[in-house]
Chains A and B, each alone.
Chain A
């Protein structure tokens, strides 16, 4: 009680470390009451004959490092010294702390803390070693020719992976702490001589404004700093790939690495960023262009095809040529539902199958495929509940949405599809066009970190088309995109490779 009162009276003085080790340990035990995972090891330093205590949290720190690099050098008698001497430790990362608040943070982040009797400062030793997984192939963004390293849950490693791609001193970082309880390390990476400083400042301000308990994931961060959180469209790219992140940084964007999260956030981006994949640059430009156009087409079919089908079959049956109409009539003839109900049933089934497949473990997941494919696909048609054509439409939609390389965009498309289906069932083609118009209106007003989201189609910037809608040969891509307002806009001065002469 007395201790608490003292703290109230003069908190600043109490925040500092005392000279007396026993007093200090008492404070520690008080701060970390009911934390059985805090270990306190008291011993005598052989070198200086001082009493010392080593504090660390079990599981957050590397036992090997503590034993070999801290305890052993301190307890083995080497040369004589006097109290107050520099201590012999073979640890690279040592910070002297003199405030309890800082010591608390270091301890909770995995450092071990050495308190020495008679010294009013503590040593935070970088012996952190928490449970980590190995670096693996990124699951959400697998690539054929790109690197097979994905981000992990430790921001230090993630930053190192990005730095491996850009070993340049202009790659700068800003470290911010987010979350009152979580104290998450959030690092902003950018190229100082390329990134537009205003965009950077805007990003930093947005992150600093966040006032939450904890951020568990990059997704949470992105929702908290988005320009328009009500929008269906993602406004930042989240990637698991270090090579994509590095390539985005080189284009003049900034990357936000969140500790404990395996994906990083890229800003500012545009609508087309979600249609690019890192493989586009490692394959031949012709096929990459084809794939990009294919993805755009897939986006359109994934969003519009069921709505189009509903509109045609329930409003504009006259646009179907006779032969096709006969085939369609044969298939739809015995279906008891109107097209909209039919489509909604199948689409919801598809969404359920997809969601079921995501969570289930792989061996059970196969059953889902069988149930979905055979039982629903075939039986429903044979029972005459759903027409063949509808199954084809739904399957085509599903395939289209699998082509899109970004999960967040696919999620947006899934919702847009339902809205358009409702509009089409009410107003036919006019409904679809109104939906499209509203979507365009929304995309036009949407921004990502203050930059227009519709770039380079709205506003039209022809110079950016060669690396968005198509992928021109690399020697033509010598300018950074205008959408990032980069300070330095030329990236290369390559000429077309000359034809070899025999």
Chain B
């Protein structure tokens, strides 16, 4: 059904797509959420979250290895029946629509607050959808190239944050485990939302050129994500005092206010505009995956029609309704729960089912 030959992606592209979906908008509020849960100890929750993600990523890859057919959809329709497979695709489509909508709304809200308060939300939406449509139309290969290119052109971003080190108070981080181990464990919950996106492997795995390297690719992509998070969170925690960290909505952007060069003031303005590239790494792949899943549900030959419909609905929908910041926070909250079920629980269930199915099937056959 799908042509994976012409659309194959390299391991590097795979890594950057996954990391891109994870980082994009989630990085903005991560330090605040960690601080809310555990103060500066929130930093310690990140490695724990990382381990959790590795485990979950491994399970997802195992599911893909176990699935004998070309794609997971085919495997499911073979083992559980066409309707279950369609239901599964629909679920994934909903999930990725959710992820995409969250990313888009976040980006629009941030642009509206910081750059263009007078511009209508739907105008920004239409602007953002323009390149997104063009890239999502191209399929995994173009997505992969886009993710790669964006990574290359935005690798200078972290270095700008080093300028804040002038005002760093390393002592903020100490002592470790100030309130014991429990707050750290609760802070792990905050790392779930920024790690969402590994599930994209379900769709992208068939396109991967070197499938035997999938595990290491996933480890690398999770490591990239985690090191970015640790870096950013450390910067925020050593800059802001422990109580201040929870005050700012998007500490990553607010922190830029302190950086000043001779030739440019308020560096956050060009920075946020450039950040749109990083933000776009969540909604563009999700847009593709969602429309691909919808095309599977309806048995369409490619994802073009769902994608077009999606773009039009988004543009018109935003004209009537755009969530506010608080509503977007709620969306995020729901997304974290939804995502936990989809990304951490569902793959394990699938793995168990597929293993059992194989065992029974083999026994039945022999």
Contacts and interface: CB of A to CB of B under 8 A. Distances in A.
Interface of A: 315-316, 318-322, 324, 427-434, 437-438, 440-442, 444-445, 452, 454, 457-460
Interface residues of B, number: 37
Interface stretch (B38-46, B49-57, B274-282): B274-282
Contacts of A442: 134
A457 B131 contact: no
A321 B149 contact: no
B269 A430 contact: no
Contact of B152 (A316, A433, A457): A457
A440 B266 contact: no
A433 B271 CA distance: 11
A320 B265 contact: yes
B116 A428 contact: yes
Given A321-B263, A460-B152, A427 B144 contact: no
Contacts of B144: 459
A442 B134 CA distance: 7
A432 B127 CA distance: 11
B266 A319 contact: yes
A454 B150 CA distance: 13
B233 interface: no
Given A318-B266, A430-B111, A438 B124 contact: no
Contacts of B115: 315-316, 428-430
Contacts of A457: 149, 152
Given A433-B276, A460-B12, A444 B269 contact: no
Which 10 A-B residue pairings sit nearest by Cβ, starting from the closest? A429-B273, A437-B131, A441-B134, A458-B145, A458-B149, A438-B131, A441-B131, A441-B135, A433-B273, A434-B127
Given A318-B269, A324-B263, A438-B130, A445 B280 contact: no
A459 B10 contact: yes
Contacts of B276: 430, 433-434, 437
A458 B264 contact: no
Contact residues of B: prevailing secondary structure: helix
A438 B134 contact: yes
A321 B265 contact: yes
A319 B127 contact: no
Given A318-B269, A430-B276, A434-B130, A452 B145 contact: yes
Interface of B: 10, 12-13, 111, 115-116, 119, 123-124, 127-128, 130-131, 134-135, 137-138, 142, 144-146, 148-149, 152, 262-267, 269-270, 273-274, 276-277, 280
Nearest to B119: A427
Nearest to A323: B262
B149 A437 contact: no
B346 to A, nearest CB: 32
Contacts of A437: 130-131, 276-277, 280
B36 to A, nearest CB: 30
27 contacts: A316-B269, A316-B270, A318-B265, A318-B269, A319-B266, A320-B264, A322-B265, A427-B116, A427-B123, A430-B111, A432-B273, A434-B276, A437-B276, A438-B130, A438-B131, A440-B146, A441-B131, A441-B142, A445-B134, A445-B138, A445-B142, A452-B145, A454-B145, A457-B152, A458-B146, A459-B144, A460-B12
Interface centre among A316, A321, A429, by most chain B C-beta atoms within 10 angstroms, is: A429
Contacts of A321: 262-265
A441 B263 contact: no
Given A318-B269, A428-B116, A437-B276, A444 B127 contact: no
